[in-house]
């Protein structure tokens, strides 16, 4: 089911106050914008991502804007094991006790390729980063989410993966799997009413991922990743309570 963020919704000051939110891909693009917006809305943010320097830059930008200092969790999802995910959840439990939000922004996309030419390593690493990591992080953090009085998981997908799958390779297949993953968590946990699971499908954003996919494209006029951050705040905030298993188009 495709949904839209309510047109009249704007984040009130402190809408995520006293909430702990963990964001992947927080060093760049949409993940960075979501981290800054969440911290600006009062959340304590945990920044997960591959490149430590980029996470540090996001940390510094949050502190400079007056947000509470975020925690940093560098991790490479391409090589992470089940034990790494379990350890991440254990660290969060020790440090924070409960979790109010998980935002899965990290993604691997190396460019268009026909399935007939897809390299095994590209297949494996892309599925690891784009599908296994969101599953494992959600699965291991579920007890922490259920401990919060209200919590949300946001999976960022790509609407084009379904509309025109050709040549999107493992990226497109993983994104379609991600939508099923979100829907399955939502269906299995709908009865508890406390944690919601939704998918956000942004159209074109001016980020490194888009540049890698469309190297010849003029991106200057494309929407910034910051323009998509309010939608993530909506899905994290109590405003979206009761809405689960949905795909929100931007």
| Plot region of 144 (φ>0 → left; ψ -120 to 50 → alpha; else → beta) | alpha
Least Å from the CB of residue 21 to ligand NAP? 16
Binding of ligand NAP by 169 (CB under 6 A): no
Asked if residue 134 binds ligand NAP (CB under 6 A), the reply is no
Indicate the SS3 state at residue 24.
Answer: strand
- In the complex with ligand NAP, the residue whose CB is nearer, 58 or 148, is 58
51 near ligand NAP (CB under 6 A): yes
Q: Residues 33, 37, 38, 43: what is their CA dihedral angle, to the nearest 10 degrees?
A: 130
Stretch binding ligand NAP (CB under 6 A), from 47-55, 110-118, 162-170, 232-240? 47-55
Q: Can residue 225 be called a binding residue for ligand NAP (CB under 6 A)?
A: yes
Q: Kindly state whether residue 107 participates in binding ligand NAP, applying the rule CB under 6 A.
A: yes
Residue whose C-beta lies closest to ligand NAP: 29
Is 210 a binding residue for ligand NAP by CB under 6 A? The answer is yes
- For 42, the token pair is 């009062």
How many residues in the shown chain lie near ligand NAP by CB under 6 A? Answer: 28
Pairing of strands 101-104, 151-156: parallel
- Written as one string, the DSSP assignment of 155-220 is EE--THHHH--TT-HHHHHHHHHHHHHHHHHHHHHGGG-SEEEEEEE----SSHHHHHH-TTS--T
Backbone angles phi, psi at 164, to 5 degrees: -140, 85
78 part of the interface to ligand NAP, by CB under 6 A: yes
- x/- mask, ligand NAP, residues 1-40, rule CB under 6 A, reads ------------------------x-xxxxx---------
Q: Give which of 85, 70, 25 is closest to 51, Cα–Cα.
A: 25
Q: Which residues bind ligand NAP (CB under 6 A)?
A: 25, 27-31, 49-51, 54, 76-78, 105-108, 129, 156, 158, 202, 204-205, 207-210, 225
């Amino acid at each position: 089911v495709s949904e839209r963020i309510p047109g009249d919704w704007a984040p009130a000051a402190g809408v995520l106050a006293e909430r702990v939110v963990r964001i992947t891909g927080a060093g760049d693009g949409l993940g960075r914008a979501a981290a800054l917006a969440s911290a600006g809305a009062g959340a304590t943010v945990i920044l997960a991502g591959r490149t430590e320097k980029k996470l540090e830059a996001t940390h510094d930008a949050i502190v400079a804007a007056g947000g509470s200092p975020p925690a940093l969790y560098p991790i490479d999802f391409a090589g992470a094991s089940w034990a790494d995910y379990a350890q991440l959840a254990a660290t969060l439990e020790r440090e924070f006790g409960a979790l109010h939000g998980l935002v899965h922004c990290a993604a691997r996309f190396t460019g268009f390729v026909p399935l007939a030419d897809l390299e095994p390593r590209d297949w494996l690493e892309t599925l690891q980063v784009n599908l296994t990591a969101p599953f494992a992080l959600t699965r291991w953090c579920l007890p922490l989410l259920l401990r919060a009085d209200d919590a949300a998981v946001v999976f960022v997908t790509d609407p084009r993966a379904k509309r025109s799958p050709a040549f999107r390779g493992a990226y497109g297949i993983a994104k379609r799997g991600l939508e099923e993953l979100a829907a399955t968590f939502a269906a299995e946990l709908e009865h508890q009413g406390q944690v919601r699971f939704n998918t956000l499908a942004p159209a074109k954003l001016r980020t490194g991922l888009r540049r890698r996919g469309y190297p010849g494209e003029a991106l200057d006029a494309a929407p910034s990743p910051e323009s998509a951050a309010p939608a993530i705040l909506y899905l994290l905030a109590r405003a979206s309570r009761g809405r689960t298993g949905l795909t929100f188009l931007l």
